Structures are given as structure tokens and as C-alpha cells.
Amino acid sequence: MEVSADVSVVAGAVTSRGTEVDEPVDIAVAPSGERLGSEHLAVLPNANSVLTFAAPSGAAEVRLTGVGKDGALKDEQVVAVAAGTTAEVPATDVGSGLVAVLVSTTGDAVYGAQVVTSADGPGVSVLPLPRGNVGGLSVPVGLGY
């Protein structure tokens, strides 16, 4: 699906999980998100978590740094997202024993979310990535005495 307009629009999505007759079904609502910049922190729950990124108009790079239980930063991974595509990165691919993932982006606009699913049953949630550092486009500097 593609949405285009000559004015600002807000979009969201609804997804479901579970397709068996007479079995539980869960739905998740994915809200619209803001352009990612730097220093977004995705907290990882005790469930299956996948970080999903989309670059609608141009290529971008997403840098993922795992945060261990002791607060130590793990090795950075770079994920290329081609223009007009999405990339999915399971949290387990970023590292093991992580409690969070630090997300930063460069290049054209890229948007992201965290999809969390339950190993037992159809549970599903979609979480927007929290705001980062001013979209990564500027750094506030104070001058004075």
C-alpha cells in the first residue's frame, strides 16, 4: 500500500496474529512514527522482538548497538535499507543477553518500529521507537559566560 499527498498525513496499520478456527487471535495497532535520527533506545521485553525499518524515499543506514544486562555496549551493527524497502532485524541477531538496543540512522529518512510476539499463543504488539536526539539533524550548543 502506498499513501501520497501534497499535505501532511498521518497513517497507521492494524495487523493480526492467529488464524485457526476457535483459537485465540490477537491484533496490534501500529501508530504512525517520526523520522528516526540518533540515540533511540528500544527496550527489549522477555519475548520475541523484531526491529523493523523502512526507507520510503531514499537509502539509509541503521546502526544498532546492543546494551547488555550490565549496561555495557556491544559491537555496533550496520543495516543498509535500500530506497523503497523495509528491513527486519530480530533482536537476537543484534546480540544475546540484551536488555535494549540503541538505534541511530544516517542517510535519507528512515522510520522504525518494534514488533513483539509471544512464543506461547498469538500475542502481538507494535511499539514505536521512542524519540531520540532531535532527529539526529542538529546538536544543541549553548554559548555564554
Which structural domain range is residue 43 located in? 39-129
119 CB contacts (<8 Å, ≥6 apart)?
47, 48
Inside any domain, residue 9: no
The domain that contains 100 carries what CATH number? 2.60.290.11
Inside any domain, residue 29: no
Local structure of residue 130 (DSSP, 8 states): P
Inside any domain, residue 54: yes
- The total of structural domains in the chain comes to 1
Degrees, nearest 5: CA angle 93-75-92: 15
- The one-digit pLDDT tens for each residue of the chain (145 residues) are 677 788 877 778 888 888 888 888 988 888 888 899 988 999 998 779 999 999 999 999 999 999 999 989 999 999 999 999 999 999 999 999 999 999 999 999 999 999 999 888 888 999 989 887 644 455 555 565 5
**Location of C-alpha cell 538505534:** 103
